[in-house]
Amino acid sequence: MTAYSDRDIRRALATWGEDHSGNPAWLRIDPVDLEAIQPASVDLRLGSDFLRFPDRSQVVDLADRKVDMESVSVGRDAAYQLEPGGFVLGTTIERVHLGPKIVGKVEGKSSLGRIGLTAHVTAGFIDPGFDGQITLELFNASPNTILLRPGVFICQIAFFETAIAAERPYGSEGLGSRYQGQRGVQAIKK
pLDDT at 17 over 60: no
Please give the pLDDT value at position 63: 74
d(CA 146, CA 116): 9
Given 18, 94, 137, 167, the catalytic residue: 137
137 labelled catalytic: yes
pLDDT tens per residue across span 121-138: 877 889 999 999 999 999
Q: What is the phi-psi region of residue 29: left when phi exceeds 0, alpha when psi lies from -120 to 50, beta otherwise?
A: beta
- Overall average pLDDT of the 97-111 stretch: 93
- Overall average pLDDT of the 47-63 stretch: 82
User: What class, spelled out in words, does domain 2-50+65-161 have in CATH?
Assistant: mainly beta
Map out the domains of the chain as residue ranges.
2-50+65-161
pTM: 0.89
Please give the pLDDT value at position 20: 56
